[in-house]
A and B are shown apart, each in its own frame.
Chain A
Amino acid sequence: DAKTTQPNSMESNEEEPVHLPCNHSTISGTDYIHWYRQLPSQGPEYVIHGLTSNVNNRMASLAIAEDRKSSTLILHRATLRDAAVYYCILKGTSYGKLTFGQGTILTVHP
């Protein structure tokens, strides 16, 4: 599976937008971009996924670069509950396989 690169950590203030970047320069045409997050002492939680177009759901937005070599997860108004490790994952045609990278630790300050 193609690799992703994320910053080790980011910080934000409560009620401000957060932009979490992910680079995936070796993405293939059939790879979907998935984002999961893992709150402390919990299992990972699906956030959003996309292929080419930007995507929105109740949790976040996903902005995908035109060349698909990078993407950004956008939390519109961070809350303390959004403090977690955020994983950007390329999901290819490998049947059911999610390969987690190191992720970004997001800290949200009150």
Chain B
Amino acid sequence: DTEVTQTPKHLVMGMTNKKSLKCEQHMGHRAMYWYKQKAKKPPELMFVYSYEKLSINESVPSRFSPECPNSSLLNLHLHALQPEDSALYLCASSQSPYRGQFFGPGTRLTVL
């Protein structure tokens, strides 16, 4: 299994909702990442987890809350988002933070 899966593919939520994005990999990778990509822009790193511990938080607002329950799973909990948070949210994993990263297809999020 050489892929990163993300669910859901699409998500529409209101500004008062709470929702979660899920990412899964079964490649034995110990580093996992969340990126945000706005339309026609490059991806921007949000969080890095290494061995299930948060190692980088790129000054992301607290309305985004990451969680790594085990080495295969990475969640992104969303609460009180703004319309400008609408974007493609990408998950990635790698054998270590120094190796090439495998990306999932992303979750397209729309905040109304």
A interface with B by C-beta (< 8 Å) = 34, 36, 41-46, 49, 87, 91, 94-103
Interface pair B45/A44, CB less than 8 Å apart: no
A-B contact count (CB 8 A): 52
Q: Are the C-beta atoms of A95 and B97 separated by less than 8 Å?
A: yes
Least CB separation from A45: chain B residue: B103
- Chain B hits for A49, CB < 8 A: 100
Known: A44-B90, A97-B56. A87 touches B42 (CB 8 A): yes
B81 at the interface (CB under 8 A from A): no
Interface class of chain B by DSSP: strand
In the bound complex, CA of A18 to CA of B70 (Å)? 42
Partner of A102, one of B4, B42, B97, B98: B42
Which residues 33-55 in B have Cβ within 8 Å of A in the complex?
33, 42-45, 48, 50, 55
Does B31 reach chain A (CB closer than 8 Å)?
A: yes
Contact (Cβ within 8 A) B44 A100: yes
**A96 vs B34: C-alpha distance when bound (angstroms):** 11
